[in-house]
Amino acid sequence: MTGTTHALSDPGPSRIEWRQSPGLTAYPAALAEMEARAAAIRAGEAAELVWLLEHPPLYTAGTSADPAELFNPEGFPVYAAGRGGRYTYHGPGQRVGYLLFDLDRHGRDVRRFVHALEGWLIATLGALGVAARRAPGRIGIWADGPHGEAKVGALGLRVRRWVTMHGFAINLDPELSHFSGIVPCGIADFPVTSLGEMGVEDIQPRFDLALRGGLDEFLFSLEGGTGGTAKA
Residue 22 falls in the annotated catalytic set = no
Nearest to 58 by CA among 73, 72, 71, 77: 77
142 to each of 115, 121, 148, how far by Cα in Å? Answer: 14, 11, 10
The C-alpha atoms of residue 31 and residue 8 are separated, in whole angstroms, by 24
Q: Beta 48-53 vs 94-100: how paired, if at all?
A: antiparallel
The C-alpha atoms of residue 168 and residue 153 are separated, in whole angstroms, by 7
Nearest to 186 by CA among 54, 89, 78: 89
Catalytic hit among 185, 195, 198, 222: 185
Residues annotated as catalytic are 185
